[in-house]
Chains A and B, each alone.
Chain A
Amino acid sequence: MIKKVLVILLLAVIGFYLVDLLAQIPFGEKRDNVGDYYLQESVQSLKVANAVTGIVVNFRGFDTLGEVTVLFLAAMGLSSIMYRKKKKGDKDVRAKKPSSRILQVGVQIIFPMVVILGAYVFIHGHLTPGGGFQGGAIIATASLLMLITYRKFKVNHNTISWIESIAGVVFATLGIIGLIKGMSFLENFLPTGELNALLSGGIIAIIYVSVGFKVAAELTGVIDTVLLNNKPDSNNENN
């Protein structure tokens, strides 16, 4: 019981600090910060309609490269933690009886639409809200839908690691090409077209499409690793 009181006390202290701090930061007030420069530049030099995408991919592209690595490492770390030597008795742990007819038909209709939506989101990343991460996550939910509904649906880890690696290599080489051309790493060396056109924004569109593929492949791999690992057998042997 004392533990709970202590925790409440600690929370009160942290809460007081936070509230006292936030009271001095007015809400909704215009502060002079780097944001205005980004808004102005993303229209003039980058010709990217979605300023947030401009920041995520070009102005702070290094963060996104780090971000994609974090996801790559999480997928790798996850499968290394969940690694179990394949044993003969490994049965498919998914539901024994097949899912209901309505679900199967429903998924047949929804699956292509969700994949198209995901593809649309990350292709138009620099025009409309959304981008690589969001589109990839949407496609991952689509493949999840298939994994749950159909027992025969198997995610092929070989293709996933191929897509993952190729997309990552595309992102890194686009950066290095900028370096080879004498400009700086990840610089926009392609012509940027004009605002609100599909091909505007130079390498930004290409980078965000490769990020979309990479995130889609990675999240499907993560979900598949976690979903298909075996529930501990009855005698609860640990490997």
Chain B
Amino acid sequence: MIWLIIPIIVLVLLTIGAAIFAVVTKNLLYAVVSTGVISLGLSLFFFILQAPDVALTEAAIGVALTTIIFIITIRNTTQYEGDHKENKIEKGAKS
């Protein structure tokens, strides 16, 4: 019965780690992908909490659609946070 706690601990570390990575990383694409990972973690949490409806919603909307909309926004704006050197090159190349 006790070994049941191991997957939960792994899940907790995965979710919080992805959240911290999403905030810290400079590359927005990585940040957006880790937002998807957080939603995945949440979906598994909901599964453990005996809430299948919410797990399905979180998987369908949180992981798939939110990540896609973020990525489309990145395509329309810059891919790197702050005035990163790639930003300059990209802006230079563009204008």
Chain A residues in the interface with B (C-beta under 8 A): 50, 52-53, 121, 129-131, 133-134, 137-138, 140-141, 144, 219, 222-223, 226-227, 229, 231-232, 234-236
Contacts and interface: CB of A to CB of B under 8 A. Distances in A.
Contacts of A138: 60
A137 B61 contact: yes
A52 B64 CA distance: 23
A130 B95 CA distance: 48
Given A134-B60, A227-B72, A234-B95, A141 B53 contact: no
The 7 A-B residue pairs with the shortest CB-CB distance in the complex, in nearest-first order:
A129-B52, A137-B60, A134-B56, A141-B64, A52-B53, A137-B61, A129-B53
A130 B68 contact: no
B56 A121 contact: yes
Interface in B63-91: 64-65, 68-69, 72-73, 75-76
Given A219-B65, A226-B69, A231-B75, A236 B95 contact: yes
A137 B57 contact: yes
Nearest to B60: A137
Contacts of B64: 137, 141, 144
Nearest to A231: B76
Q: Max chain A CB contacts within 10 Å: which of B51, B52, B60, B75?
A: B60
A226 B72 contact: yes
25 contacts: A52-B53, A121-B56, A129-B52, A129-B56, A130-B56, A134-B53, A134-B56, A134-B57, A134-B60, A137-B57, A137-B64, A138-B60, A144-B64, A144-B65, A144-B68, A219-B65, A222-B69, A223-B65, A223-B68, A223-B72, A226-B72, A226-B73, A231-B76, A234-B95, A236-B95
Question: Size class of B's contact patch?
Answer: 10 to 19
Q: Max chain A CB contacts within 10 Å: which of B51, B55, B68?
A: B68
A219 B61 CA distance: 10
A50 B54 CA distance: 13
Interface of B: 51-53, 55-57, 60-61, 64-65, 68-69, 72-73, 75-76, 94-95
A234 B95 CA distance: 5
B62 to A, nearest CB: 9
A229 B76 CA distance: 9
A53 B69 contact: no
A140 B65 contact: yes
Contacts of A130: 52-53, 56
A158 to B, nearest CB: 23
Contacts of A223: 65, 68-69, 72
A3 B94 CA distance: 34
A134 B57 CA distance: 5
Contacts of A137: 57, 60-61, 64-65
